[in-house]
Structure formats: C-alpha cells, structure tokens
Structure 1
Amino acid sequence: MNPELKRYIPIVDMIAETFGSDCEVIIHDLANPEKSIVYIANSGVTQRKIGDSFTGNFISDVLISDQIDGDYVSNYRFGRDLSKLIKSSTALIRDDKENIIGAICINFSLENLNKGFNAINNLIGPLYEERFEAPSPNLMKGDVQTNQNINIIVKRIVDHILDGVDTENLTRSERVQYIRFMEERDIFSIKGMVEDVADRMGISKVTVYSYLDEIRCENNEIY
C-alpha cells in the first residue's frame, strides 16, 4: 500500500468503530483504478472487498457533483429503494505535491434506522413523515462541463487504467472490455473524455461511441 495512504488507516478504523457495523469506511488508491480498494473496515454495507474497484458514484456523486466543497462531498445517498439507502461521504487524499492520489469513502447503511422509524410509527402512530427520500441525481447525464482540475484527475485515472497496456495490439473484445470498465465508472460523463480515451487507445472517437452504443444496448439503456 502507498505509505501516504497507509497513514489514514487509524482514522478509518476509528470512524468504523465509533459508528458500528452499519458504517463502512474505505481507502481507495486511484493509482490502481481496477483494484482501487486497498483497505476497508466493516465491509458488510456494500459487500465489497480489498482489490475491488471504485464505482461510478465516485465520478458522478463526488468529482463532478455540484455539492463538492473543497476536497470532500458529504451526505449523498444511493441505493435501490428506501429500505436499502446508503448515506455516503467522500474525501479526496492529496500527496505533498497536491496531486490527488486516493480517497476515503464512508458508507452508512440507513436500513436499520429506517426499520426503527417504521417500528415506532407502527407502535404509536404516524408521528414521523418518511425520513428518507430516494436519491435524486444532482447532474444531467451525458457530457458535463467540468473544471480543468477534474479533467486532469479523470485523465490520470484513465492513464492508470491503461498503464502498461499494449493498446495497438488489443483485440476488439479487449478494447470493449476497457471501454466497459470506464463506462461503468461514469468516466465518459466528463466532457472530452471520449476524445481523450480514443487518442489514448489509438482508435477513433466514432469507434469509442460505437463500443458505448453496444455496451449500453446490452445494459438495456434507453436514450
């Protein structure tokens, strides 16, 4: 583990122990996007493990969020429905040269709290209105105009993904696999990244769009 990230382990453990098993805390190493999770405490919230990658939430809910304040975003939510909501906060980690090298992510499951509120309502009547609303997107899908710093961060993530890859000799299926990995992490929601990835992989942007159409059709995405 990067020594600059390792020093955050006591903080991660302290947060996890303070808030209990419903609070999962993760350290991400952005120099290794495909296996970015290098430390995790209370892994039961999202069922992820060391060696797993960050999700698309890191791009959409953190880097290009309109709620980002300095180097952190707090109290954004995600989940399939009200009973499975997770409240999250993420802080970026910089090295001594101010380069972003990682992130600490706190994921707090609201499932037990929601059950508690429902139990109270069942016992003494509906004194409380629904406490948790389903998450709403804070940005439009598609190209997002972002500042130069965010573009630099995401370009570095792409560089790390393709580091050491002989892009000239990739098969079509291998190229699609890399594009799929980036698409699943919302990298192409950043303005200009289709062109940058195309240049980095030595293919045309039309080819990238073709791969994206194929991937999105497989995922039954409708435009």
Structure 2
Amino acid sequence: MDREEAFEFLDRTARGIAEMFGSTCETLVHDMGDPRHPILSIYNGHVSGRTVGSTMDILGTAKELDQDALVTDFVNLYATTPSGQQIKSSTFHLIGEDFNLALGINFDYSSLVYANRILVDLMSAEADLQSAMWHGGEGQLTQIFEECLAAVGKPVNVLTKRDRMKIIALLDQKNAFSFRKSVPFVAKRLQVSRYTVYKYLGELTGAAGGDEKPKEE
C-alpha cells in the first residue's frame, strides 16, 4: 500500500464513520509525517471549527507533537474544545515506508450530558412513596387506637379479653385494619400476638353472624 492508497482508505473510512454517527461526530485524516500534523481531509469539521490544512488539534492548540505521539494510537480519551464542548477522541495510525497517516475520531457528547441531567431530574424523587404512606398511616393509626382505648377507659395492662375485643371492634369500625401493617401495630399496642389479633377479628366476624359473645379472660 502506497501513500495515496493509504490516504484513500482512511478518507473513505472517515467519511463513512461521520455519516454513520451523524453531525456530532467529527472525523479527519492527519499527515503525521509532519510534526505539525496538518489535516488532509475532515468531515463534520464544525465540531472543532477546523478545516483542511489546519494544524490545530482538538484542544485548540498548534503544538508540534513529539516522536512518540506521532506514532502512538490514542483510544477513547476525554477532551474539551476551546468552546467548551465535551469530546471523546481517538487517533489510529497507518504507517508505511513513505507515509505516516492517522485517522482521528472526535465525538461531541455535550448534548448527551445535558440530556442526562434532564433524565436525572426526571427520575429524582423526594422520598419513597411506600415509606411516606406508612409513616403517615402510622400517625393516623396511632390516633385511632388512642381514641378506641379511651373509649374503653382502661390502661392496656389491665385490659380483659372483652376490653380488647371491644377495642378491636372499634378499630374495625373505623377501618383501622385497612392501613398497611395495622395488625402488627395493634398487636404491639395491645401487648398480644398477631395471631391473637387475627383470632379476635375472626371471633368478631363469627359473632356478627350469630349471637356469640366474647368470654372474659
């Protein structure tokens, strides 16, 4: 492959990549045989504002490259243009006996950064809904329980089964058991097991269908 063939191959590749990835992807072919690395061809040059013949790099400088940089591939590196665009940059060399050319790819992802910020804002929330509902529900449940306990007129530690059944019945009338985790809450406040609360509810349901009355305990 001679220099002309190498340039034709890289130029065709640069054009294809630019077309494939769109207007935010700048591609170019450098003459790396010259320390000033002038641009031989460029597509979507508006990304950096450069044209054919320019010796400016993506950073906006015109520094000559050292010997290592003239033959080293650089892959997926971050750069910021003088105008503030955020770029992912790669350079691939094609070196022959009488040529040293390089394909440069500069992808401007600034718009993706802005889009990501919008997505983060859209996906952010003040708190977990379930937790918020539970905390709010617990406050209401506490108030309802205190009202039912006051209706019985006794402290929890001296309640009989009849008293507890009455409290359960009052709670049920006030739809207290529609709250999330209401049974463990009531069981804890009445100092009984969850099973006992369910048992009382079952007895109340049975009593509603007959004439049974809860026994003293």
Q: TM-score range by the shorter chain?
A: 0.3 to 0.5
TM-score, normalised via structure 1 length: 0.45
TM-score, normalised via structure 2 length: 0.46
Name which structure has the greater RCO, CA cutoff 8 Å, separation 6+.
Answer: 1
